[in-house]
Amino acid sequence: MPRPAVRLLTVGACISLLALIAPGASAASDPGTDAAAPLVWHDCGDGFECSTLEVPVDYSAPDGEQVAIAVTRKPATDPGARRRSLVFNYGGPGDPGTETLRLAAETIPEAIRREFDLVTFDPRGTGGSRPIDCVDDATFERLWNEDGTPNGEADLARFYDGSATSVDLVATCVANQGDWLAHVGTRNVARDLDRLRAALGERRLTFVGYSYGTVLGAVYAQDFPEHVRALVLDSAVNLTESASDRQLGNAAGFEGALDAFLADCAADSGCAFQSDGDPRAALTHLRDRFEAGLTVRAPGGRTVGASKFYTGLLAALYSRSAWPVLGQALHDAARKNDGKYLQLLNDAYTGRRDDGTFNNFQEAIGFIVCADVPEPRVSFAEYQATYARLTAQFPFFGAILAGSPIGCDPRIPTAASTETLGNVRATKAPPVLVLGTTHDPATPYVGAVDLRDRLGGARVLTIDDTQHGGYGQGNQCVDDYVDDYLLRRRLPQRGARCDR
């Protein structure tokens, strides 16, 4: 699922901080995609099948260098009832779908799994699709352990110029990846998606996109409206807000979700971190201890410090279902010097596998954002002012979300204008279903309304909850509406709402 990129790349303040309103030309549709060769599938374990799709690195030179896109599917459970393929994108940008589908397939309602092949892919630059992988796993873990919050004016300068970490990750990535970094944007991923549709033998695309996946779905509707069957865009990124507005919205959203968790914990005797009815005071004290240099032990000889404390908080606040784990994680860190559960939250957030390797999710995020919108870095004065304002307003998340300056490092290769995001609007595609959660910490509800207005004929399903993502999250009301749309292309009635 999509996660804020809180540090390492000073190319944007967080995952959903996409500056998506830069002027640019809409990309032309890729000609000849319906002639794409069918995919050749092979068994890859646990009932999944895998394949690769060859696509151009640069669509302006379609016969030039090609890149292999990793594809995975879970065949329909009832071959006799199978209708078509349903393609998923799990957001990020940078989530490796071929890994996530294996975790998420069983959360999709049986009515859909029975009649659809569940399909996903690793977008270019991620997972198994020529990944933006810049440092080895040991180096990445060391970088992730370094404190991600500036301490004083001297630290602000170091965080601004990129010298706050022991490795200059941007320089390393540019040296290792070169011009490939200019070709990983959403316009090209949408072209790849259309090639995938054709290779699957589908005349029109059926698609579910979460968070950043809503951007991909909207671009696809703009560039390939004639190839759309049904698009579910869940937890919409706001395509109108500026990067600074989105940064503020994320800080407010996560701080609000934390407030809700703390209030729930204070009232629940079963919350492990209830702390005599005042978990906020206990959390403030624990934060201050981490900021003062506290580290706690974790399994495998690893440790948890300030960086992983903040990341654990963020990771758990995406879904109310993770609150019990967060309560236990905070209790164990504060009372037992035990970082086991904070470490587990971090591992899920960073894509760390059981064997100690990482997917490249966190390394890819910033470069994809900058391929979409090569926005100039803010001035140091603007960065200082923003940091001061957000840390004063949001005591837990201001520093971690404002610690990196908004904008792209000038060393990153710039995408061609036909590959940048531009103004995303679609009026010719069939009706689209947009899901918005009223207290989503990562993509505030206003983004769903904005996306509806950008996509002619779209309908919003409102979910009254505090979490990121609605479909396949155990809410029967949401699942029933989405299933009806996917199966019958029947939109919910105007004003439809689902409670938690």
468 is catalytic: yes
Catalytic residue among 85, 211, 235, 275: 211
440 is catalytic: yes
Catalytic residue among 51, 133, 468, 483: 468
147 is catalytic: no
What the block records as the tokens of 403 is: 């610690």
What the block records as the tokens of 126 is: 């991620």
Helix axes 186-199, 212-223, angle to 10 degrees: 70
CB distance 52 to 70 below 8 Å: yes
Catalytic residue among 440, 450, 465, 483: 440
Residues forming the active site: 211, 440, 468
